[in-house]
Structure 1
Amino acid sequence: MFIRSTGPLEPKPAWMGRQARRNGVLTTEQLHSFGKGSVLADANREQIANPAWLETIGTSLSTHSHFALSGNLDDLFPVVTESGLDFLPIEDAILAELSRAGLETLLTFDPVDGLTIQRGGSSTPMHGVQAKDSQGGGLTGGNQSLVDLLHAVGSSTEAPLALLVRYASHLAPPGSLEQHRLFVAIDKIAKATSRDDPGMDAGGGRPRTPVLWLLDRPGDLPDWFLAGNHAVRQIAVDLPDLETRYAFARTLVSRFARMTATTPQAERAALQQFALETGGMTLREIAAVAGLASRHGFGLDRSGDALRVFRTGARRNPWASPLLLERLQRGAEVLCHRVKGQDRAIAQTLQILTRSVLGLSGAQASGRMKRPRGVMFFAGPSGVGKTELAKAVTELLFGDEAMCHRFDMTEFNSERSVARLIGAPPGYAGHELGGELTNALRRRPFSVVLFDEVEKAHPRVLDMFLQILDDGRLTDSRGETCHFSDAVIIFTSNVGMLGSDAATNLGMEILPSDSYETLRHKLFDGIQKHFIKDLRRPELLNRIGQNIVAFDFIHRLSAAQIFEASVERTLETVNAALGIEVRLEADVRDRLAEQCLSHVLEGGRGVINRVERYLVNPLAEALLQHVGAQSVAVVGLSVDAGDVRLDLVRVEEASRG
């Protein structure tokens, strides 16, 4: 089964040539040129060619007898034929290339079904080779069958043919004695064939009989068979490039619902946008996206919605919810209720969130369709609300703090810890479970991903962040890809707070007495130094861009607000859990504030920790003596050698209120 392009081949834009396709990177000028549909009608442009890996097979037939293929094997591939451009499975694509060299027959072997025959031209009898074709019968699977087949193919002189071995990675357990014996026999056959037919024979110009191995991974054949073996050529089968995706998308137009604007220019622009957005996908996946569009009634102008459904499995798009826009309008109120003393950090956070919700993140750059919905880097002193603001952002966006995937980077400070995020390598314990990060994104693609204290992560983990920020996706150890295009990424860090001189200002580079602008400037300088000089990863800093949010110290007024909020939450919790109303006398509240606000440099977390020590713990102990009471008053607070005690009295029913 294959897909044929309808109509004549369309010339491609100049920038879609080989130079522009290098490494799959497009410049902004190229993106704008493509988006406008310019130069598409230039008839002198180079036509789409067969894939490079396929051409490599054709040009190497006279010099190599074995081809080890790995990569994107289970896909469709463009093949230029007399009738136009066809998209064929790998066997048909290889046979079309071999036919140009006079090899009209392709034998396909796999360990289960045995042998089948494909012929590109006339059916030629093959003496000495028993096989089954589409009518059935013949050789069964098995390694001895494969060895016998290679003997027969190598000695065949009547018909030019080639052998393709599917599932070659599963012929025998890697490194086993069975695999060793199998490839010793194969190597001996190859060398014997090479002596009998060294390249092209002088009479008919027929190439030697090639054997093509389809592998899961490049190293699945024995190392000794591949290394230094001039008869073997290793070939990587790449994912489709931009021009191939565009040509294939033209064959799928009929599957999409009718567009609102149906002019040829509008259709062409939508096709080009679709080709851009499907970067990194196989043609079969692109066809599946078109199938989703057909079922859900998406037109070409809504191909982005079809892609989102394909990647997340959810038709509902939370980012397009009118309710979210309403919540965002009162975002300052929601965030300031949870995080005190960080008004400027909250204002910048809301700016980033607004463009994220509206889909404008990276609007000025190419490739924005695949990148995370939003990226923020929270920097500043410890305990001032960075993690709390990340949780508050999650609640604001999704109404549920559980939609925040939090990863404490202190747990990922070794090279081995990368396996926890993306899964253990094949052969290691836990490989089948996948990675914590990739599994979390598959479960909840619409979420916030929080990487706490990112400066403590191992450099290998930082390299993984680069892929997430650049490509918006991550592939786990099982080869499954998760997408970050609907997630907000938040990093927190204390980088820039400490200087090199520990004897000055307790080693602090930034002081509570610094103004916010001074603090912000010092933080940015410290972060820049950390990424460029210490980590030598300026590219990661470039991906974060201007999304660094500076947090100020918690000053006394803000600390007092945190104290009052923490005390009120404590009293409300006691009332809800135990049914006891607790009231603090004014002098007790003042004494409690004096104890909890005595070390402002500890930040908001320090205030909350002291509320726990001076209120929550002694209150819990004191309430044991007042079980059954409906209302109590705290009339005394004493601190003796670190021991904290609260004096409680019951409030008479008549005097409450």
Structure 2
Amino acid sequence: MTKKMAWMESLETCQQMKSLFIIEGQVSDLQALVTDEKVNLIPMEQYLNDYLQKEGYQNIVFYNRIDGFYNHFPQGEEQVQQFCTLSGCEEPRASMAAAVKAAREAVRNLSSSVAVVFDLASLMLASPAHLTDADLENFATLFLASRESVTAPSTNAGFRMNKLLLLVEHAADLPEWLYHSNPYARVLTVPKPSGGLRLQLIRTYAESRYWNGGSEQERRLKNLAAISDGFSLLELDRLLAQCLDRGTAPEDYADAFNLYRYGRRENPWSRLTSEELQSFGARLAEDVIGQEPAINAVVNVIKRSVKGLSGVQHSSSGRPKGVLFFAGPTGTGKTELAKSMARNLFGNESALLRFDMSEYSQEHSDQRLIGSPPGYVGYQAGGELTNAVKNHPFSILLFDEIEKAHPSIMDKFLQILDDGRLTDSKGETIYFSETVIVFTSNAGIYRTLPNGMRQALITPENSYEEIEQAVRDGLHEYFVNRLGRAETLNRIGNNIIVFDYIRPESVPGILNKQIHSVMRAVQENARVHVELEPGSAAWELLVDRALNGLEFGGRGIGNIVEKYLVNPLAVCLTDEGWAEGQSYAIEEIVEENGTVRLVTSLTG
């Protein structure tokens, strides 16, 4: 028994009740007929011709404004000539105006059942919102034709209602009055192939290849069905055929799919070894000091992602690899941890795509992310987010200070978190299934007073438990009470990671890391070797200053290093004649009358 798609069954059900069918969606794709779990794919025109012929229609013709009337199937030319005779059409290659008039005449005839299929129907007009006089006349003619259609004899010793079929990508490309509230019309939607249909097609190819059965093959087939999400049946069919022709091993099909979708064969996620995963947390801790709970939470999420266990409890298989929400005081390493993830997962910090959400605070800011609508300035440029992910599908997406974005942005994020994809303004679907999404927020740290001033709700004096509770309360207040978007927090789930203030015991490690970075830059740029030993008077002054500004976090420590080390080092390099190849030790840092200078000794 042949299983048909839902739109096909609806066409059969309504074929004697409706005279006008508008078929929208994947009309340019191959259409699937499933027999005994095997998928047979045929073009839309062939399916409609076969179906209408089986129903007994004596004249089946197709029309587009380039080729005119045609039928490329057996006895097709004869049917076109018969159609022209009964419709009064002078020649098959008719103009648009002549074609709709011929169609109207044909569906009013009582002698021979007729079906007219208008392909590329959206090209019959420039814009449904701005009809020219010619457009209006053409579509009014089609409307009248749908109302005047009659039944006529068929080849099956019965009668069939003469009908018109319009193939379009979107029904909205046509005048709404043609089909809305028109009792003679029916809109049928051809959807993108479902995961089940894609799996059946892949299984059909696998059986023709005599793949070995068993659980491993089933796992591999289901994985291919998941990563082919969004492929048309034509794309999937040709991709599978190409793999078959080239003798691609079953275990390499996923690489071929990735090459087609992302332009690269190797998936960086599959490249990560068990040893790299085991040391992942230690490498993060080298970059971000004093945030062990946050690092442990990140490691767990990444391990789930790499092993394919991220979001397996949900129905959608295309969700992002991981979703993290970094919250807590400013300057505590949230952005730095995202950078470290990019370096350690993808080998380069450029894999971090950062979006400052304070720049998306206006009402129509969501258009910056996905692109302006057609006809508006910036339409051709596309969206900043969709373009970035299209060009860098394997990446860390950092949405900084999410609470500063306009609430409309949240709708886009919900779609990404739920489905792992977003459609840009040009209609292209962008996939987020290979990304890790990181949100950051300072919610719960301050509250705004009636006079506009900010009041700190927590300080470094609070314990981590108190900070965590205050931050979570702040996020609940913002998303649930202020925005009314509790669903956003629900999608993030337990992946809210609260960062602690920089604690005194972490200061030496952070300071040492920043000093090493400064000394390395001096060595690379000025060819001068400089040392600052822990325990020296200079070191102790830096530690003391850093401890007195912990409320400013790592940025505060960076400001201390800049004032007491970087700036006076620049003076030494430019004013004191330090030459390439020399080595110096910083023994003391002296601050006098607002001026900072270094006491150094030449060591080599």
- Give the TM-score, by structure 1 length: 0.79
Distance 1:367 1:80 in 2: 24
2:298 alignment partner, one of 349, 362, 376: 349
Query: Which of 519, 538, 541 is the equivalent residue of 2:467?
Result: 519
In structure 2, the CA distance between the partners of 1:361 and 1:143, relative to structure 1 (3 Å rule), is same
Partner of 1:580: 528
Is this contact kept in 2: 1:562–1:608, CA < 8 A?
A: no
Determine whether 1:90 maps to 2:44.
Answer: yes
User: Could you say if the C-alpha distance between residues 388 and 246 of structure 1 is closer, same or farther in structure 2, counting changes exceeding 3 Å?
Assistant: closer
Aligned counterpart in structure 2 of residue 466 of structure 1, from 396, 414, 418: 414
* CA distance in 2: counterparts of 1:80 and 1:597, whole angstroms: 71
Does residue 159 of structure 2 align to residue 211 of structure 1? Answer: no
Whether the 8 Å contact between 1:570 and 1:616 is mirrored in structure 2 is yes
Q: Is the 8 A contact 1:626 1:650 kept in 2?
A: no
1:449: which partner in 2? 397
Unaligned runs of 5+ in 1: 1-8, 10-47, 132-136
Q: SS in structure 2 opposite 1:427?
A: coil
What secondary structure, in the 3-state scheme, does the structure 2 residue paired with 1:75 have? Answer: coil
CA distance, structure 1, for counterparts of residue 188 and residue 348 of structure 2: 48
What is the alpha-carbon distance in structure 2 between the residues aligned to residue 244 and residue 270 of structure 1? Answer: 16
Deviation of 1:72 after TM superposition, in Å, equals 1.4
C-alpha contact 2:113 2:152 (8 A) present in aligned 1: no
Residue 626 (str. 1) matches residue 576 (str. 2) = yes
Give the corresponding residue for 2:5: 51
On the 8 A contact 1:65/1:190 being kept in 2, the answer is no
| Distance change >3 Å, CA 79–CA 647, structure 1 → 2 | closer
- Structural mapping, 1:492-641, within 5 Å: 492-498=440-446, 507-582=455-530, 586-627=536-577, 629-630=579-580, 631=582, 636-638=589-591, 640=593
Question: C-alpha distance in 1, partners of 2:219/2:497?
Answer: 37
Which whole-Å CA distance do the structure 2 matches of 1:485 and 1:404 have between them? 15
The residue identity in structure 1 corresponding to 2:96 is N
What is the 5 A alignment of 1:17-416?
A: 49-79=3-33, 86-117=40-71, 124=79, 126-127=81-82, 129=84, 139-140=92-93, 142-174=95-127, 179-188=132-141, 190-191=143-144, 194-195=147-148, 197=149, 206-254=159-207, 256=209, 259=211, 261-262=212-213, 271=221, 274-275=224-225, 278-291=228-241, 293-294=243-244, 297=247, 304-321=254-271, 324-363=273-312, 365-367=313-315, 369-416=317-364
Retained in 2: the 8 A contact 1:455–1:495? yes
Give yes or no for contact 2:369–2:384 (8 Å, CA) kept in 1: yes
Flag structure 2 segments of 5+ consecutive residues without an equivalent.
none
Q: Which 10-residue stretch deviates more, 289-298 or 564-573?
A: 289-298
Q: State how far apart, in whole Å, the 2-side matches of 1:306 and 1:276 are.
A: 14
Residues in 2 aligned to 1:339 and 1:283: alpha-carbon distance in whole angstroms: 46
1:126–1:158: 8 Å Cα contact kept in structure 2? Answer: no
Any idea what SS the aligned residue of 2:236 has?
Answer: helix
* Worse overlay, 455-464 or 494-503: 494-503
Contact (CA 8 Å) 1:72, 1:239: kept in 2 or not? yes
Checking the alignment, whether the CA contact within 8 Å between 2:399 and 2:440 is kept in structure 1 is yes
Q: CA, structure 1 residues 101+275, in 2 after alignment: closer, same or farther (shift >3 Å)?
A: same
Aligned length: 592
Q: Alignment partner of 1:391: what SS?
A: helix
Shift of 1:109: 1.2
- Are the aligned partners of 2:366 and 2:408 in contact in 1 as well (CA < 8 Å)? yes
CA distance in 1, matches of 2:221, 2:538: 70
Deviation at 1:194? 3.0
CA distance in 2, matches of 1:629, 1:397: 40
Structure 1 residue 352: deviation in Å?
A: 1.9
C-alpha contact (below 8 Å) 1:164/1:213 kept by paired residues: yes
Counterpart for residue 21 of structure 1? none
**Structure 1 residues 492 and 601, CA gap change in structure 2 (3 angstroms):** same
Q: 1:347 to 1:244 in 2, by over 3 A?
A: closer
TM-score by length of 2: 0.86
When residues 649 and 499 of structure 1 are mapped into structure 2, their CA distance, relative to the original with a 3 A threshold, is closer
Q: Assess if the C-alpha contact under 8 Å between 2:568 and 2:598 holds in 1.
A: no
In structure 1, give the amino acid aligned to 2:187. Q
Task: Check conservation: 2:96, 2:138, Cα contact below 8 A.
Answer: no
Structure 1 pair 344–246 and aligned structure 2 pair: CA distance change class (3 A): closer
Is contact 1:130–1:138 with CA below 8 Å preserved after alignment? no
Larger mean CA deviation between 296-305 and 418-427 belongs to 296-305
Relative to structure 1, the CA distance from residue 600 to residue 408 in structure 2 (aligned partners, 3 Å threshold; closer, same or farther) is same
Distance 1:577 1:275 in 2: 52
Work out the CA distance in 2 between the residues paired with 1:239 and 1:649: 71
* Distance in 2 (alpha carbons) for counterparts of 1:306 and 1:147: 46
